[in-house]
Amino acid sequence: MKNWIHRVFKRDRPHKIQNNAPMSMGMPEIPPSRAEAMIKMIEKTQEVELSCDEVHRLLGEFAEMAMRGEDAASLLPLVHHHLDTCPDCREEYDALMQILQASPD
């Protein structure tokens, strides 16, 4: 849960109190776009999930399976799920795939 909360909020700058309005319970108000992103991530939560570190260790294997035309999503479903829900890891995977596709065989 801690990693998930970090992923949702890490790109935001600290919220400022506007017009001297008090923050409810000492917490800044969550922008609607962030709240919507949180809800979507909660909906996709599974009983067992991989951390970003675990996915990074398997990313090369997942990409190579995809390059060979294998169904990487079925073979490594937890990695696939993580890539669907984590924009940072998805960005890493997309960059790796671009490198692999550009490499001569």
Query: Residue 19: what pLDDT?
Result: 54
Query: Residue 63: what pLDDT?
Result: 97
Other C-beta atoms closer than 10 Å to the C-beta of 73 total 15
| Domain extent at residue 71 | 52-102
4, 14, 18, 98 from 39: Cα distances, Å: 12, 21, 25, 31
Examine residue 94 and state whether it is found in any structural domain, yes or no.
Answer: yes
Examine residue 18 and state whether it is found in any structural domain, yes or no.
Answer: no
Query: Residue 27: what pLDDT?
Result: 64
Domain count, the chain: 1
| 56 pLDDT more than 90 | yes
Examine residue 19 and state whether it is found in any structural domain, yes or no.
Answer: no
Global pTM value: 0.59
Examine residue 1 and state whether it is found in any structural domain, yes or no.
Answer: no
DSSP 45: -
Confidence of residue 20 (pLDDT cuts 50, 70, 90): low
Range name among 11-20, 32-41, 43-52, 55-64 with the lowest pLDDT average: 11-20
Count H helices, E strands: the chain?
Answer: 6, 0
Q: Which two tokens stand for residue 52?
A: 């970003």
